[in-house]
Amino acid sequence: DAGVIQSPRHEVTEMGQEVTLRCKPISGHNSLFWYRQTMMRGLELLIYFNNNVPIDDSGMPEDRFSAKMPNASFSTLKIQPSEPRDSAVYFCASTLLGGDQPQHFGDGTRLSIL
Protein backbone atom coordinates (compact mmCIF):
# COMPACT_ATOMS: atom_id res chain seq x y z
CA ASP A 1 0.00 0.00 0.00
CA ALA A 2 1.21 3.50 -0.77
CA GLY A 3 1.97 5.51 2.32
CA VAL A 4 1.84 9.25 2.81
CA ILE A 5 3.69 10.90 -0.07
CA GLN A 6 5.45 14.22 0.33
CA SER A 7 7.20 16.40 -2.20
CA PRO A 8 9.74 17.72 -2.66
CA ARG A 9 12.05 15.67 -0.43
CA HIS A 10 14.55 18.51 -0.26
CA GLU A 11 14.16 22.22 -0.88
CA VAL A 12 16.85 24.86 -0.73
CA THR A 13 15.87 28.42 -1.41
CA GLU A 14 16.81 31.97 -0.55
CA MET A 15 15.24 34.06 2.13
CA GLY A 16 12.14 35.89 0.94
CA GLN A 17 11.12 33.27 -1.60
CA GLU A 18 7.79 31.47 -1.52
CA VAL A 19 7.96 27.80 -0.56
CA THR A 20 5.23 25.25 -1.23
CA LEU A 21 5.28 21.80 0.32
CA ARG A 22 2.91 19.09 -0.90
CA CYS A 23 1.30 16.05 0.67
CA LYS A 24 -0.80 13.16 -0.58
CA PRO A 25 -2.39 11.31 2.36
CA ILE A 26 -3.18 7.61 2.45
CA SER A 27 -6.32 6.86 0.44
CA GLY A 28 -9.37 6.62 2.68
CA HIS A 29 -7.87 8.64 5.53
CA ASN A 30 -9.97 11.61 6.57
CA SER A 31 -7.55 13.45 8.86
CA LEU A 32 -4.32 15.15 7.87
CA PHE A 33 -1.64 16.77 10.00
CA TRP A 34 1.33 19.00 9.20
CA TYR A 35 4.27 18.86 11.63
CA ARG A 36 7.62 20.64 11.84
CA GLN A 37 10.69 18.98 13.35
CA THR A 38 13.78 20.83 14.56
CA MET A 39 16.60 19.94 16.92
CA MET A 40 15.59 22.68 19.32
CA ARG A 41 11.82 22.14 19.46
CA GLY A 42 11.34 18.54 18.37
CA LEU A 43 8.18 17.54 16.51
CA GLU A 44 5.48 20.18 16.64
CA LEU A 45 1.98 20.10 15.22
CA LEU A 46 1.31 23.01 12.88
CA ILE A 47 -2.22 22.34 11.61
CA TYR A 48 -4.83 19.60 11.54
CA PHE A 49 -7.51 19.00 8.88
CA ASN A 50 -10.55 16.77 9.20
CA ASN A 51 -12.55 16.02 6.05
CA ASN A 52 -10.56 18.75 4.27
CA VAL A 53 -11.53 21.41 6.81
CA PRO A 54 -8.87 23.05 9.05
CA ILE A 55 -9.82 22.25 12.63
CA ASP A 56 -6.81 23.33 14.66
CA ASP A 57 -4.26 25.79 13.30
CA SER A 58 -3.02 27.00 16.67
CA GLY A 59 0.46 25.66 15.92
CA MET A 60 0.96 27.73 12.78
CA PRO A 61 3.82 30.04 13.78
CA GLU A 62 2.67 33.22 12.03
CA ASP A 63 0.79 34.63 9.09
CA ARG A 64 3.62 33.77 6.72
CA PHE A 65 2.45 30.15 7.00
CA SER A 66 -0.71 28.92 5.32
CA ALA A 67 -2.13 25.48 4.57
CA LYS A 68 -4.87 24.23 2.29
CA MET A 69 -6.58 20.96 1.57
CA PRO A 70 -8.62 21.40 -1.62
CA ASN A 71 -9.63 17.72 -1.69
CA ALA A 72 -9.22 14.47 0.22
CA SER A 73 -6.07 13.47 -1.64
CA PHE A 74 -3.96 16.62 -1.55
CA SER A 75 -2.71 19.27 0.84
CA THR A 76 -0.19 22.09 0.66
CA LEU A 77 1.77 24.04 3.22
CA LYS A 78 3.00 27.39 2.00
CA ILE A 79 5.53 29.79 3.51
CA GLN A 80 5.63 33.31 2.09
CA PRO A 81 8.02 35.02 2.57
CA SER A 82 10.42 32.39 3.87
CA GLU A 83 13.03 33.13 6.53
CA PRO A 84 16.17 31.22 7.66
CA ARG A 85 14.46 30.26 10.93
CA ASP A 86 11.90 28.29 8.93
CA SER A 87 14.61 25.75 8.08
CA ALA A 88 13.40 22.39 9.40
CA VAL A 89 11.98 19.06 8.32
CA TYR A 90 8.26 19.28 7.60
CA PHE A 91 6.19 16.14 7.94
CA CYS A 92 2.70 15.32 6.82
CA ALA A 93 0.71 12.57 8.55
CA SER A 94 -2.72 11.10 7.97
CA THR A 95 -5.13 8.86 9.82
CA LEU A 96 -8.69 7.63 9.86
CA LEU A 97 -10.37 9.51 12.66
CA GLY A 98 -12.06 7.50 15.37
CA GLY A 99 -11.09 4.74 17.76
CA ASP A 100 -7.41 4.13 18.25
CA GLN A 101 -6.17 4.79 14.75
CA PRO A 102 -2.50 5.83 14.67
CA GLN A 103 -1.06 8.59 12.54
CA HIS A 104 1.02 7.51 9.55
CA PHE A 105 3.84 9.85 8.57
CA GLY A 106 5.44 10.66 5.25
CA ASP A 107 9.22 10.88 4.91
CA GLY A 108 9.22 14.65 5.18
CA THR A 109 10.53 17.64 3.26
CA ARG A 110 13.92 18.92 4.40
CA LEU A 111 13.74 22.68 3.96
CA SER A 112 16.76 24.98 4.02
CA ILE A 113 16.31 28.72 3.76
CA LEU A 114 19.56 30.55 3.02
Partner 1 sequence: QKEVEQDPGPLSVPEGAIVSLNCTYSNSAFQYFMWYRQYSRKGPELLMYTYSSGNKEDGRFTAQVDKSSKYISLFIRDSQPSDSATYLCAMSRGISGGYNKLIFGAGTRLAVHP
**Residue type for position 111:** L
Task: Report 34-93 residues binding partner 1 (CB under 8 A).
Answer: 42-45, 48, 50, 55-56, 91, 93
Q: Is 102 in the site for partner 1 (CB under 8 A)?
A: yes
Contact 24, 32 (CB under 8 A): no
DSSP-derived secondary structure for 62-107? STTEEEEEEETTEEEEEESS--GGG-EEEEEEEE--STTPPPEE--
Alpha-carbon span 13 to 72, nearest angstrom? 29
Residue 15 or residue 43: which is nearer to partner 1 going by CB?
A: 43
Encoded one letter per residue, x for contact with partner 1 by CB under 8 A and - for no contact, window 3-22 reads: -x------------------
Closest approach of partner 1 to the CB of residue 14, in Å: 23
**Chain residues in the site for partner 1 (CB under 8 A):** 4, 42-45, 48, 50, 55-56, 91, 93, 95, 97-108, 110
